Chain A
Amino acid sequence: MSFLNYLISGISLGSVYAIIALGYTMVYGIAKMLNFAHGDVIMVGAYVVFTAVSTWGLPAVPSILISMAVCTVLGILIEKIAYKPLRNAASPLAVLITAIGVSYFLQNLALLVFGSNTKSFTSVVPFPALQLAGGQLTITSVTIVTILACILIVLGLTAFINKTKPGQAMLAVSEDKGAAQLMGINVNATISLTFAIGSALAAIAGVLLCSAYPSLTPYTGSMPGIKAFVAAVFGGIGSIPGAMIGGILLGIIEIFGKAYISAQMADAIVFAVLIVVLLVKPTGLLGKKIQEKV
């Protein structure tokens, strides 16, 4: 039974990673950059919900919506101010370093505003846990909501990309920015939209993450951000199903690693699995092999 408990925990944690990974993979596929600050947008999202619920006493759903709105605006602003000017820079490292700067900025801004002491995050999902198999299998409400959220988001995003005009525009820009522009697609708006969606998802991820693991500090987003990025690469960067599979697998590996091998080595195990996968399949599980033109 504990195996099932761990499995469900893993899928739940993995769902959070998947939601974060989606943001990374979309931005990478469409804007061709690694948004290092993505993990910290998660942290901002969590803090907004915390403030809304604890300080202003708002109920859960409006708080989450406010958080999504704040993060969406934040994501668009960051892109316009810090990333767009570097889109055609001589080195792709330039925008990466700037993203690192944005990450430091968000972390230290949160430090300034909220202080470094850990905030205790009250779960936004107040229904009782589900007890199955005579009490041996416990599924918390957070877990159910998290997994459901992940599934809905992936389905919604896939439908959006395949069936709507803005979604198809995103696909076109990811394939060939120049051609998309020539076809009349507003590349700037499409990229802004990508960041908007990714940041909104980050807000949701932040809420879900802190509901399951209730301690919140300015550095809370950092490691999950890195792990989610690993998940996105693992699943094949640029691929939406890849992000989902990568995220969930990573969550499962992490929880099983903690449970069956060693709690302290869990992170190392996660990274080790990534390395092994990339060595066998260098473009990730669902990644496309890109032929270099000679």
Chain B
Amino acid sequence: MKMKMNKTAKQNAVTYGMVIAAFAVMQIMISTGHISSSLEGLLIPFCYYVILAVSLNLVVGVLGELSLGHAGFMCVGAFASAFFTKCMAETIPNSLVRFLLALVIGAVAAGIFGILIGIPVLRLRGDYLAIVTLAFGEIIKNLVNVLYIGKDSKGFHFSMKDSFSMGMEPDGMIIVNGPQGISGISRDSTFVIAVILVLLTLFIVLRLIQSRDGRAIQAIRDNRIAAESVGINITKYKLMAFTVSAALAGVAGVLYAHNLSTLSATSKNFGYNMSIMILVYVVLGGIGSIRGSVIAPVVLNLVLDYFLRKFQMMGSNVVLQFLSDNRMLVYAVLLIAMMLFSWSPKMIQWRERVFHRNTEKEAQ
């Protein structure tokens, strides 16, 4: 079995290697000043998008369940950690220590939500599970928007209506201000920490998949009834996958929150639009392919944001200008085209005929 261990270990090494290589390249570009400010601004987003995609793939690709509320866990992690950071700004002046604690808090908070939501939800059938996860994601976003938390000399105050109902003293500090969210967050996210978190995420997810529990999770995906018949506890493993996925999404949320000074929950960042965007990364990278979930978010965001903007600056080509102005439209067309090309059975047959690809069937 040495052979198999080496093969998987090699594949993992390639994945880690890609991340480290990309990091090295970026670092060189940063230190030699060869990087544009727009690309530099994307570095931390690349990292949390990757963490989000990899963690969602654990549920969609490895467990085989469609979750449309992943952004909700990101939201929990973001707000829990930002709240902590804001409260502890003076008590823990060392930003690194404080940020590490914030990461743990964000992960744990999101993980707890993962368990709470997972227990009732994971016994629903596929499409229903999808819609309920979407519902939970929206509820979380909605709840955070009506949350008012403040602190004064008497302690914490809390309201779901408005900041005045908290009944705070005039010199009290509003920490969470309803739809305006949390402001004045210390921007502790750094590219180095973000990349380390990406590697940590990969480490956890890849090793989990390749362990006994990971096999159990995949067995549930491939044939739930057979998995049960060999004695696998379906609920336990569904919950495990869901919770680990949620906690990692929470970590991504912490990175996101500490990359801005103001954190608020809108439909764009924590609503179903975001959940769906992450799902698109997962599908385009390959459902079940962890390496794909590393590549897809980076490539797509690079293409969208960076290159089209570059074309725009290069000037007068009307077509490129049009593409750049309407990049979401282009993206939508590309998405549809890519899906048809990769997944349509007729397309797959055509490709096999043209490129003579064999399908590895053992000789019968």
Q: Which residues of A contact B (CB under 8 A)?
A: 28, 34, 82, 85-86, 88-91, 93-94, 96-98, 100-102, 104-105, 107-109, 111-112, 226, 229-230, 233, 237, 262, 264-265, 267-268, 271-272, 274-275, 278-279, 282-284, 290, 292, 294
Contacts and interface: CB of A to CB of B under 8 A. Distances in A.
B270 to A, nearest CB: 13
Listed residue (B121, B142, B279) with the most chain A CB atoms within 10 angstroms of its CB: B142
Interface in B129-164: 131-132, 134-136, 138-139, 142-143, 145-146, 160-161
B354 interface: no
B340 A82 contact: yes
Interface stretch (B43-51, B230-238, B331-339): B331-339
B272 interface: yes
Nearest to A87: B345
A267 B143 CA distance: 10
B329 A112 contact: yes
Task: Give the dominant DSSP class at A's interface.
Answer: helix
B343 A101 contact: no
A91 B343 contact: yes
Please provide the 6 A-B residue pairs with the shortest distance between their CB atoms, ordered closest to farther.
A268-B142, A271-B135, A101-B335, A104-B332, A105-B332, A94-B343
A269 B170 CA distance: 33
Interface in B279-302: 279-280, 283, 287
Contacts of B279: 97, 100
A107 B332 CA distance: 10
B218 to A, nearest CB: 15
A262 B127 CA distance: 29
A112 to B, nearest CB: 6
A274 B133 CA distance: 11
Contacts of A101: 332-333, 335-336, 339
Nearest to A85: B344
A86 B344 CA distance: 5
Interface in B225-282: 225, 272, 276, 279-280
A86 B340 contact: yes
Contact of A271 (B139, B161, B276, B336): B139
B224 to A, nearest CB: 9
5 contacts: A85-B340, A85-B345, A93-B283, A97-B283, A264-B142
